Structure 1
Amino acid sequence: MSKLSSEMKALAKKAGGSFKTVNDRIHITKRFSEHLRALNIQIQRVEQIKVRHIECYIEERLEHPRLTNKALGLSGASRNGTRRAITPEHYQQVMEKARAEDAGLAAALEIARLMGLRSQEAVQSSQSLKTWLKAISRGETRLKVVFGTKGGRPRYTTILDAGAVRKSVENALPIARQRNGRLIDKPDLKTALESWHKQAIKAGLKGEFSPHSLRYAWAQDAIHHYLAQGFSEKESLALTATDLGHGDGRGRWVKQVYGYRWKEE
């Protein structure tokens, strides 16, 4: 057990509470420690933990299908999405700022919005650009997401706008070539993700319109896409859940978390 894990476990016990509360708290600290280790973030003391580390962990957990109110100790609370799908106006503002600051960031953000990617998938999307472009050229309607997926499990995402996705991928390719195959020009995944979050915030992706709001917006577009094809609401939600990498049994969850306000928006 690392020094950080040991210290967090000790603090979890010291905070008191029932046996179950303490046990749940210890499990949370264990997951957080594993998250940091997976990103190769070398932290030995609790006092070294930065806000960005917590933000990155929370975003990852929000994307996890096993994240429940019960697991968070929020039984009885609403599970409706606390963040909103990014609006076209705000997205435009974000992209203008991103293009002015960093072409690679702008390319990754655009791909994330058009394909419903998680942050880590967007950061590592440069590794799949050539493959995606070939698939689009063949007329395929779904693209395989391999790098940065949850648990390393590849998933397929439906192409909602082939023209826009193709243009986005074509624009990203020369940027990646100039940056040793990367859109976020950092030497490793850890620093790339840190840069992604830092720059995204600077571009205006924060609060209810965090980077995850791009995925929210894609999810709502996907729901409308399937409804327009004649699928029922239940089928549309199940298909969208599958596209997002959650599995078709998570349709109700997607409606609550990703598509809570989709009818209004």
Structure 2
Amino acid sequence: MGRRSRGVNHAAQMSREAGGSKDSQKRRRLHWSEFSRFAARIGHTLETVNEAEDWMLEFFVWFLVAGAMKPGTLANYRASLSVIQGTTGQDMSRSTRSRDLQLERRDRRGRHRARTQQEFNDLLAAAQALDASVVHVIRLMRWLGLRMREALMCGKSLETWRDLILQGDLRLPIERGAKNARPRRTEVLADHVDETLEAINAALAYCRDRDFELVSGCHSGLKSAKSRLKLRFDQLPMRRELASHSLRFTYAVDFANAALDRGVPPVDVLTQLSDRLGHGPSRVKMILEVYCRQIRHRFPEKIQLPSDFVPRQRTRNLQRSATGRPDDQLQGDGAAPRRRGRVHGRRVKINHGGKQTKHKPY
């Protein structure tokens, strides 16, 4: 094994220790591999992650910019390198800040929007005629604000969700398929408890005899099921502003409208919504500009949203949540983010042909 290959393997090991989904770990490794190849071209072969220096990262960023890489993709590259180096105790994020390098910032607003009730009903009718399994995924995404992967993998959580709702608890844990393997809790909209419970019961009845898999592909496993679901979304069609992510936008708009109608302070609305969507309580500015763009007029024109917002510690004190339920109050001046520990889990063995020899069902 050559020196550069050892460096890429070391980066892959650091990525695994940093945690996250397998897709995230794979992307980090590929991004580091490109950086390592670039460093070798300028005469520096990296055998370990620690051998990377600030100026190499800055040169690599300008190399990507010269190749007309889009700001969003460039930000993903820098984030991957930062996570890998952070695992070794390095902090080189300051050397590649967009503001310091005068780079174009990505536009996070996107092109999705919330669906109207009629558009949602038409989508359900089209999905029913195409594939009944897709109907359950769509309804769960809309009423719980789930990502596509979360809805695809939630079959084994449906009974727990049903029991919690029947007990009066509207905060539901999302433990399977969460982005970067970060478990979160969504919240059932108080005005749509019946619709949500009906969607959960229907999905549970459908997948109970199918090993709790809502969608099954041509082959066993998550990858095949995800490919089939994406194909069905394209056939409906669910594209552009009304792609599958528009269902999360619909949930977000309903959540925010319900909160504002109940008199919840605007900043608290954005903080709670960010937490329910799985972005954490610190992404309030992005939530306002992206998910609440259609109802921006309901928020103050000048709203105090500090750019260095730090999630505050939770206590057992209670306040009213956006949907009228008691919620954990956020208080305190702030706390440093908790460092993710080493993640232990089963690995999928790969032979020399690149095929998986162990199958881990989703």
> TM-score category by the smaller chain?
0.7 to 0.9
Whether contact under 8 Å (2:109, 2:289) holds in the other structure is yes
- Which residue of the other structure, out of 249, 255, 259, is the alignment partner of 2:288? 255
Shift of 1:153: 1.5
- The residue that corresponds to 2:256 in the other structure is 223
Question: 1:92 aligns to what?
Answer: 121
Identity of aligned residues (%): 25
Number of equivalences: 225
Q: Please, which of 223, 244, 253 is the counterpart of residue 277 of structure 2? A: 244
Distance apart, 1:225 and its partner CA = 1.6
- Report which of the two structures shows the higher radius of gyration computed on alpha carbons: 2
The superposition leaves residues 65-91 of structure 1 with CA deviations (integer Å, 9 ceiling, x where unpaired) of: xxx9889x642x654342212222222
Q: Does 1:80 align with 2:109?
A: yes
Find the counterpart in structure 2 of residue 115 from structure 1.
144
RMSD (Å), alpha carbons: 3.3
Q: What residue identity is the alignment partner of 1:167?
A: E
Aligned to 1:164: 195
8 A Cα contact 2:171 2:188, kept in partner: yes
Unaligned runs of 5+ in 1: 33-67
Q: 3-state SS of the aligned residue for 2:214?
A: coil
CA distance in 1, matches of 2:235, 2:79: 28
Equivalent residue for 1:142, pick from 164, 167, 171 = 171
TM (norm. structure 1) is 0.74
Number of the residue aligned with 2:62: 21
Match of 1:232 among 265, 276, 289: 265
In the alignment, is the contact (CA less than 8 A) between 2:123 and 2:236 conserved in 1?
A: yes
Map 1:43-82 onto structure 2 (within 5 A): 74-75=104-105, 78-82=107-111
3-state SS, counterpart of residue 186 of structure 2: strand
Question: Separation in 1 of the partners of 2:252 and 2:161?
Answer: 20
- After TM superposition, the score normalised by the length of structure 2 is 0.55
SS at match of 2:185: strand
The offset of 1:110, in angstroms, is 0.4
| Alpha-carbon distance, 1:149 to partner | 0.4
SS at the partner of 1:82? coil
Determine which structure has the larger helix proportion and give its number.
Answer: 1
Residue 144 of structure 1 aligns to a residue whose secondary structure is: strand
Partner SS state of residue 255, structure 2: helix
Note the residue ranges of structure 2 that are not aligned, 5 or more in a row: 1-7, 10-28, 42-57, 81-96, 299-362
Please give the alpha-carbon distance, in whole angstroms, between the structure 1 residues aligned to 2:246 and 2:290: 11
Change (3 A) 1:31 1:177: farther
| Equivalent-residue separation in structure 2 for 1:93 and 1:83 (angstroms) | 18
Is the deviation greater in 107-116 or in 97-106? 97-106
1:195 and 1:74 map into 2 onto residues whose CA distance is 36
Q: Shift of residue 101 of structure 1?
A: 1.6
Aligned counterparts of 1:121 and 1:188: Cα–Cα separation in 2: 15
